[in-house]
Structure 1
Amino acid sequence: SIGALVALGGLKDLTSLIEPYKADLNATVLDYCTQDGKIYCAPWDIGPVVTFYRRDIFEAAGLASDPDSVSAMVATYDDFLATCKTIKEKTGLNCFALNKANNLGTMLENMLWQQGLGYYDASGKVTIDAPYVVEAVKKIGTFWDANVVSDSLEWTDPWYAELNAAIDNTDTPPISTIVIAAWMGNFLRTWIAADQAGNWGVASMPAYTVGGVQASNQGGSDYFIPEGSQNPDAAWAFIEYVNLNTANQVAQFVYSDYFPANKATYADPVFQEPDPYFGDQVTRAFFAEVAQNIPFGYIYGQYAVTMSNNAAIALQKYAMGTMSAEDALKEAADAVRLETGMP
């Protein structure tokens, strides 16, 4: 993770170079580039999280399928669960994929990040076994308990098949939603679910509590220059041209759907263009609104991989019924404390 890279050291201090652009860069991601008041990387893209949903499945369940109505139906995780139950009852189809044995922990991280929480806190204390993480794990468990999710694992062929399946496919029944970052839009459009053009729409992600933040982050990329670079001026010129030039950032976004961390791009007319794949919905402007509401989450820090892996294992043990949420998370937190030396 970028937090680990910055903590490791050996990166060129970019503070003075980035200063003219700082106000335009996503503050949340820029925080991960910062250590002791100095900035060591330039954010490129971010992953504002939304709910992608199948219009045709919502309609088959007798539900409205416009983005505003769906956003209301998934306004909180409790609302989301109720909507999933309706879809399952009316169509027999699952709401989304939530594997048990190899769960990646993505849903848990979204829940924590949107609350401004995470696996550690501002003082550097490990919080994987904190009561709010236990509560989030149990909230995830309500979807398993309700039998409204498939057991497919993300980024595997069965998951891809569920995302691209026709509504009447009985061999591979489709799933009706996926809560994931904006960059998933291009994946759906080009290689995962090209057959479902016009059926997918975009709505807000659920808030953790009523009136809570409906924004989180998944992924992202940054540019940095090694301290030992023999051509730091040329490296910075490249970063400035490719990453901080608004027109060039927009061109990259149009091509790749990797959502810009440069907020100055959001004023470009391309953000108001309808997207035919998503039923002519104006998705880019929607993503931009979500992006500006992402709080800082204590996820991508110095020991992000260690923390994420152990938290995912805890969630797996809870899902499989081999440990309680409290015991599994305590085991995970202790493992992180032992490996990192953090309190």
Structure 2
Amino acid sequence: MKRNILPLAVPIAALALLSGCAMGGSAPAAVTLDPDAELSGEITVWSWDVAATALDRLGAQFESDHPGTTVNVVDVGYDNAYDKLSVGLQAGSGLPDVVTIETDRAPGYINEFPTGLVDLTPVLGDAEADFDPFKWSAQSDADGALKVAPWDSGTVGLFFRTDYFEEAGVDPASIETWDDLLAAGETIKQATGHTLLSLDVASGGAFQLLLQQQGQGLFDASGDITITSPEAVEALTLLQTMNERGLLKNVKGWDGRVTSAKDGDSAVTPEAVWWIGTLLGDAPELSGRYGVTELPGFDADGARTSNSGGSGLAVPAQAKNPDLAAAFVEYALADTENQVSMMANEGLFPSYLPALADPYFQEPQEYFGGEPVYELFAEQTANIPPITFTTDNAEASDIVANAVVAAVLNGADPATALQDAAEQIATATGREIAE
């Protein structure tokens, strides 16, 4: 979902409710879906903002296609959604038939409440190859059971100011690696006076984006802490180098990033596809001054994308009509026409790969000089490196963010800052530091 509507990659206050919760409440009995069940009755769906709008629209279509069914969509509001979900899973009651869960939060619920969400594999398992592999992996449990169906992806590209590049005589197509971009940034700054990029350093989000680009998260598949790896040190060193060369403008929060883009402070923005919606909505006056290309790689053969944001749909085990709920999830998310309609109407970029082959994603976009920018994100979605999330990601993210500030803004040695952070995470979580 679009970042300006559904904030992601922030400390997860609601997950604090999960600490120690797995022992509370009454664990629901496991639910086994019947893909051939006769569909009837009604379901209630919880979501928020444009996501709720999309599901309400598709719910009316579903009812028309399946007489005798009713889909009630409730906009519970982003601020309330996770409190309600946490309390409902803890209590074993009070949840609807379908809930929206963001990808970075899904593992916490999946691990803390292993029987709290229905295994959707009987309904969607045959379509696994048709979904963004990162989303499928992140939203499945340790046994491979899909607990949260992939919905929208936060595929990352490099947005750039075409006018700054032209003034500096830099060809965007010549930038293949981050070293290439640093060199281009120095040329652009000398020619235009603008920095290379604006970041909220204190959020730590840029570091995690760069880490995932190299196929790593904060933890590995065994749950061990990975932030002392050479890849992590390289990612943090890159950010520190940008700042030392005067190529980075530090801004505060989401509003700071949007304001910086509107003011034209910097030449590039490494961000997810939903940044298109932000530019269209908040900076229409910059139409014709932006282009999009792949992220630079850490080496010539490295991944040229990453992920930032996105969500899925889950069926709580306490759902009153789980088979109808799962059928609606399949209808909304594993259907090209419906996924394309959510992109066109609500700006939700599909995790369903067949939808990305639709002609809609090859259409020229006037804001970007007539370039078919969605095509780039469509091509890169299947290339997003999968990473592991754990129940401790929120706490680890806060600690890592402090390390990023120490290195980038205060000049600490990146390897030392990350080692200190890893030891803090180990003390706080009881996890081991990966060898």
Calculate the TM-score normalised by the size of structure 1: 0.90
Q: Which secondary structure state, in structure 1, belongs to the residue aligned with residue 203 of structure 2?
A: coil
Summarize the alignment of residues 1-343 of structure 1 with structure 2, pairs less than 5 Å apart: 1-9=105-113, 10-35=116-141, 36-64=143-171, 70-73=172-175, 75-100=176-201, 103-156=202-255, 158-165=256-263, 173-190=264-281, 192-298=282-388, 300-321=389-410, 323-343=412-432
Whole-angstrom CA distance in 2 between matches of 1:326 and 1:114: 19
Query: Which segment is superposed worse, 267-276 or 122-131?
Result: 122-131
Considering only aligned residues, what root-mean-square deviation do their CA atoms show, in Å? 1.7
Counterpart AA for 2:106:
I
Task: Please tell me whether the aligned partners of residues 135 and 153 of structure 2 are also in contact (alpha carbons under 8 angstroms).
Answer: yes
Whole-angstrom CA distance in 1 between matches of 2:404 and 2:410: 10
Task: Please tell me whether the aligned partners of residues 133 and 382 of structure 2 are also in contact (alpha carbons under 8 angstroms).
Answer: no
Instruction: Detail structure 1 runs of 4+ shifted over 4 Å in the superposition.
Output: none
Deviations 1:120-141 (A, max 9, x none): 1222211122333223211211
Whole-angstrom CA distance in 2 between matches of 1:271 and 1:206: 22
Counterpart AA for 1:212:
G
Whole-angstrom CA distance in 2 between matches of 1:208 and 1:87: 21
Task: Please tell me whether the aligned partners of residues 50 and 205 of structure 1 are also in contact (alpha carbons under 8 angstroms).
Answer: yes
Counterpart AA for 2:310:
G
Q: Which residue number corresponds to residue 168 of structure 1?
A: none
Counterpart AA for 2:273:
A
Whole-angstrom CA distance in 2 between matches of 1:37 and 1:116: 19
Structure 2 unaligned blocks of 5 or more: 1-104
Deviation at 1:3, TM superposition (A): 1.4
Structure 1 unaligned blocks of 5 or more: 65-69, 166-172
Deviation at 1:255, TM superposition (A): 2.4
Deviations 1:191-225 (A, max 9, x none): x2111011111011110122211111111101001
Deviation at 1:322, TM superposition (A): 6.5
Deviation at 1:99, TM superposition (A): 4.2
Q: Which secondary structure state, in structure 2, belongs to the residue aligned with residue 155 of structure 1?
A: helix
Q: Which secondary structure state, in structure 1, belongs to the residue aligned with residue 194 of structure 2?
A: coil
Counterpart AA for 2:132:
N
Deviation at 1:174, TM superposition (A): 2.7
Task: Please tell me whether the aligned partners of residues 115 and 295 of structure 1 are also in contact (alpha carbons under 8 angstroms).
Answer: yes
- Higher RCO (Cα < 8 Å, 6 or more apart): 1
Counterpart AA for 2:107:
G
Counterpart AA for 1:40:
K
Q: Which secondary structure state, in structure 2, belongs to the residue aligned with residue 223 of structure 1?
A: strand
Whole-angstrom CA distance in 2 between matches of 1:281 and 1:138: 33
Q: Which secondary structure state, in structure 2, belongs to the residue aligned with residue 260 of structure 1?
A: coil
**Percent of aligned pairs with the same amino acid:** 32
Whole-angstrom CA distance in 1 between matches of 2:335 and 2:318: 25
Deviations 1:19-43 (A, max 9, x none): 2322211122101122212111110
Counterpart AA for 1:180:
E
Calculate the TM-score normalised by the size of structure 2: 0.71
Whole-angstrom CA distance in 2 between matches of 1:114 and 1:63: 24
Q: Which secondary structure state, in structure 2, belongs to the residue aligned with residue 53 of structure 1?
A: strand
Q: Which secondary structure state, in structure 2, belongs to the residue aligned with residue 95 of structure 1?
A: strand
Task: Please tell me whether the aligned partners of residues 239 and 408 of structure 2 are also in contact (alpha carbons under 8 angstroms).
Answer: no
Deviations 1:167-197 (A, max 9, x none): xxxxxx532110011111111112x211101
Q: Which secondary structure state, in structure 1, belongs to the residue aligned with residue 152 of structure 2?
A: strand
Q: Which residue number corresponds to residue 59 of structure 2?
A: none
Q: Which residue number corresponds to residue 170 of structure 1?
A: none
Deviation at 1:309, TM superposition (A): 1.7
Deviation at 1:321, TM superposition (A): 2.1
Whole-angstrom CA distance in 1 between matches of 2:183 and 2:346: 34
